[in-house]
Amino acid sequence: MSLDAHDLTWSANGTPIIDGITLSIPQGRLTGLLGPNGSGKSTLLRLLAGLLRPRTGTVLLDGRRLSALPRREVARRLAVVAQETSTDVDMTVTDVVLLGRIPYRTGLARVSRDDPDDVLEAEKALTWCGLAGWGERRWSTLSGGERQRVNIARALAQRPTELLLDEPTNHLDIHHQLDLLRMLADAPTTVIASLHDLNLAAQYCDHLLLMESGRLVASGPPAQVLTEQWMERVYRVRATVSMLPDGRPHLRYTSLDAASPASPAATR
Amino acid sequence: MISHAPPRTTGPGPAAPGTAGRGRRSGAVWLGGAGLLVLPMSVAFAVTVGAAGLSIGEVFRSVAAHLGLPVTSLPPLQDAIVWELRLPRVLLAALVGGGLAVCGAVLQALTRNPLADPYLLGISSGASTGAVAVLILGLGSAAPLTTGAFAGSVVAFCCVLALAGAGMTSSVRVVLAGVAVSQLFSAVTSLIVIWAGDAQSTRSVTFWLLGSLASASWGGAALCAAAAGIALALCWAAAPALDAFAFGREAAASLGVSPARTQLTLLVTTALSTSALVAASGAIGFVGLIVPHAVRFVVGSRHRILLPACAVYGAIFLLWADTAARALFAPREIPVGVLTALIGVPVFAAVMRRRSTAR
């Protein structure tokens, strides 16, 4: 089981969005995808998920070209949790999680009834996400954090070996962000999530990828990527990095623009 | 936001393993069973309604005699009223209602647009253009009116496909293309009517815009049975893909569904089926828009259950609307499209209201 990319490029209307990215995702770990707004994180995730076709380069799943694999087979291996999924569909939580079983059903059997194995799989996924007993709730009555968890349960019901999430902590309060990242760090699969909060990424991720203008500029464990130099270059902020007792870095920032000699921040 | 327990400590829920979804589903099964019972009863009862009083027993006798069962047949006049006039019309109403409701539900899911209906793809205005062209441009000898209407719908739908682009990457483009083509064909229709205008062509246009089941025949009913049946079968087989579309094209793709192929197959299926239904009955409004919403309120969004339920309840709804249209102000007949809205809006309001209080 492996997910690799070689020299990926992708452009929209002639503007390069992804510009020659080669990477290898460590197995069974939580990988954080970092970078400023517009650096190409969402596009890279779509390319890795096979939802976009690279202009050049290849994505390899277990050494096989992703674009050559049948879509259904890909859906049994790679699950995606998109950034914006709010919709007013009238479905129960169980119905939404059962969508994750679509790649496993073939023929008319998939239509006529819910396979008991599928229902069991859905319940396992819900339980894993802390949503046991939520099956009958209606999607439209859930809060943003609850929807995000149901989405992750749906993705886990696909029994993926790779789980890709686009800014899963968006719109969540800090309590729910921590819950969610704990869940992802414990997930029994390889997880790749794009994140904005660098300190949370440092706290929970095993591996970080740092993007800038469609390029991958740094990758490695948090202490290697979250450095003062990278923060200044990629995010244009001055950061003070301290090491916490657990060996993970912690950042404190000041904007470069505010760092005039008179400002108190610059005296630190 | 009200804080809730962290994931791992959420207490044991009320549902034991294996029971998830059972309450709602047994409700759907119950509703489906009731519909299958009510539908044939409605057909039998609707045939008795009309100027010539007939009993249910006489209706069954006529039908049984035509099916070759050993019963004494009705007098020829009454038999003709049942077998040649009323039964084809009642069956046509049921088939058109069921077919339109299924097509509407599918298009609402594919475009994720609650305002989508079977005429979204330019089909009704294409049908009236085709019919008027046959009538006025003197093509009448070459093709009957219904063939002209069908051809017009298909041409309109092809224009929509061409405008929306082969990839159909955006449902907004499909909707906009449908609106544009509808406007274009309406304009062409008006142009033809004004250019060669006479009373008959104006009436014909009105017929195709409001819809009527008065010209029902066994042949038309058989064609509509095929159109509605094929649409229901193909769409039902694609039910999981339609469910996957609820969260958008990309979500469907990530679940192993090919969005472009599914969308094209189902658009072509619903367009051809709607074209056949419209050719037989005109563009009866409202059924394909509101019945899917009302049924969805009751049985939920899963298409495996939703589509058959739409077929049954769309059939029952249009059957009763048409019966009312010909009986309420007899001997005058009101266009059925007027009644679908007059009956449908209160029913829809009641369902919507019940559901919002049930939450």
Contact A132 B297 (CB under 8 A): no
pLDDT at A257: 65
Q: Does B7 touch chain A (CB under 8 A)?
A: yes
Mean pLDDT for B287-296 is: 90
Q: Does A106 touch chain B (CB under 8 A)?
A: no
Tokens of A134: 């939520």
Provide the pLDDT confidence category of residue B8 given band limits of 50, 70 and 90.
very low
Phi then psi dihedrals of residue B22, to 5 deg: -70, -40
ipTM for the whole complex: 0.84
| Bridging pattern class, strands A30-34 and A207-212 | parallel
The vertex-B281 CA angle with B276 and B284, nearest 5°, equals 105
Q: Which residue has the higher pLDDT, B6 or A78?
A: A78
- Tens-digit pLDDT profile for residues B83-113: 888 899 999 999 999 999 999 999 999 888 8
Give the B window 99-128 contacts with A, CB below 8 Å.
112
Q: Does A75 touch chain B (CB under 8 A)?
A: yes
Domain B32-358: CATH class, spelled out: mainly alpha
Contact A99 B244 (CB under 8 A): yes
Provide the pLDDT confidence category of residue B210 given band limits of 50, 70 and 90.
confident
pLDDT at A45: 95
Best residue in B19, B255, B302 for a mutation probing chain A (most A CBs within 10 Å): B255
Exposure b/e, A213-225, CB count within 10 A at least 16 = b = ebebebbebbeeb
Q: Does A94 touch chain B (CB under 8 A)?
A: yes
pLDDT at A92: 87
Contact A135 B21 (CB under 8 A): yes
Q: Which residue has the tokens 């954090």?
A: A145
Q: How far is A106 from chain B (nearest CA, A)?
A: 10
Question: What is the sign, positive or negative, of the torsion defined by CA atoms of A129, A133, A139, A143?
Answer: negative
Beta bridge pairs of residue A241? A251
- Tens-digit pLDDT profile for residues A6-26: 999 999 888 899 999 999 999
pLDDT at B70: 81
pLDDT at A214: 92
Exposure b/e, B17-44, CB count within 10 A at least 16 = b = eeebbeebbeebeebbeebeebbeebbb
Between A30-39, A68-77, A94-103, B124-133, the lowest mean confidence (pLDDT) is in B124-133
Provide the pLDDT confidence category of residue B269 given band limits of 50, 70 and 90.
very high
Domains, chain A, ordered by start: 3-226 (3.40.50.300), 227-268 (no CATH)
How many Å apart are CA A71 and CA B315, to the nearest integer?
37
- Tens-digit pLDDT profile for residues A217-259: 999 999 999 999 999 999 988 888 999 888 899 999 887 665 5
Mean pLDDT for B328-339 is: 82
Interface A:B, Cβ pairs < 8 A: 135
Beta bridge pairs of residue A160? none
- Tens-digit pLDDT profile for residues B112-158: 888 888 888 888 889 888 888 887 776 656 567 788 889 999 999 99
Question: Does the pLDDT at position A263 exceed 50?
Answer: no
> What DSSP letter does each residue of B55-104 carry, written as one string?
-HHHHHHHHHHHTT-SSPPPPHHHHHIIIIIIHHHHHHHHHHHHHHHHHH
Best residue in B247, B261, B355 for a mutation probing chain A (most A CBs within 10 Å): B247
Provide the pLDDT confidence category of residue A112 given band limits of 50, 70 and 90.
low
Give the A window 130-159 contacts with B, CB below 8 Å.
130-136, 138, 141, 143-146, 149, 158
How many Å apart are CA B290 and CA B270, to the nearest integer?
17
Share of chain B above pLDDT 90, in %: 26
Please state, as a whole number, how many other Cβ atoms lie within 10 Å of the Cβ of residue A22: 11
pLDDT at A86: 62
Give the B window 288-317 contacts with A, CB below 8 Å.
296-297, 300-302, 304
Mean pLDDT for B20-46 is: 74
Helix residue ranges per DSSP H, chain B: 22-48, 56-66, 76-80, 87-111, 123-136, 145-164, 171-195, 199-210, 218-237, 239-244, 249-254, 259-281, 287-299, 303-327, 336-358
Mean pLDDT for A208-224 is: 94
Q: Which of B7, B21, B236 sits opposite A92 (nearest CB)?
A: B21
pLDDT at B355: 62
Using a CB-CB distance cutoff of 8 angstroms, which residues of chain B are in contact with residue A87?
A: 112, 246-248
Contact B7 A102 (CB under 8 A): no
Tokens of A106: 């073939």
Nearest to B248 by CA among B177, B171, B174, B167: B171
For residue A144, the surrounding DSSP H or E stretch is helix A144-157
Please state, as a whole number, how many other Cβ atoms lie within 10 Å of the Cβ of residue A2: 14
Provide the pLDDT confidence category of residue B217 given band limits of 50, 70 and 90.
confident
For residue A177, the surrounding DSSP H or E stretch is helix A174-186
State the distance between the two ends of chain A, measured CA to CA, in whole angstroms: 47
Hey, what amino acid is at A21? I
Give the A window 43-62 contacts with B, CB below 8 Å.
46, 49, 51
Nearest to A94 by CA among A60, A62, A148, A133: A133
Q: Which residue has the tokens 């799943």?
A: A61
- Tens-digit pLDDT profile for residues B114-127: 888 888 888 888 98
Beta bridge pairs of residue A164? A80, A192
Question: Does the pLDDT at position A198 exceed 90?
Answer: yes
Phi then psi dihedrals of residue A188, to 5 deg: -80, 25
- Tens-digit pLDDT profile for residues B163-180: 887 656 677 888 889 999
Q: Does A1 touch chain B (CB under 8 A)?
A: no
Contact B20 A135 (CB under 8 A): yes
Beta bridge pairs of residue A250? A242
Hey, what amino acid is at B146? T
Q: Which residue has the higher pLDDT, B319 or B207?
A: B319
Hey, what amino acid is at B141? S
Say if CB B340 and CB B287 are below 8 A apart. Answer: yes
Contact A136 B8 (CB under 8 A): no
Residues, chain B: 359
Give the A window 176-235 contacts with B, CB below 8 Å.
179, 182-183
pLDDT at A35: 93
Using a CB-CB distance cutoff of 8 angstroms, which residues of chain B are in contact with residue A175?
A: 3, 6
Tokens of B279: 């050719």
- Tens-digit pLDDT profile for residues A147-192: 888 999 999 999 999 999 999 988 788 988 998 899 899 988 999 9
Tokens of A253: 């920032």
Does a cis peptide bond (omega within 30 degrees of 0) precede residue B88? no
Q: Which of B10, B297, B359 sits opposite A132 (nearest CB)?
A: B10
- Tens-digit pLDDT profile for residues A36-66: 998 999 999 999 999 999 999 999 999 999 9
Q: Which residue has the higher pLDDT, A202 or B142?
A: A202
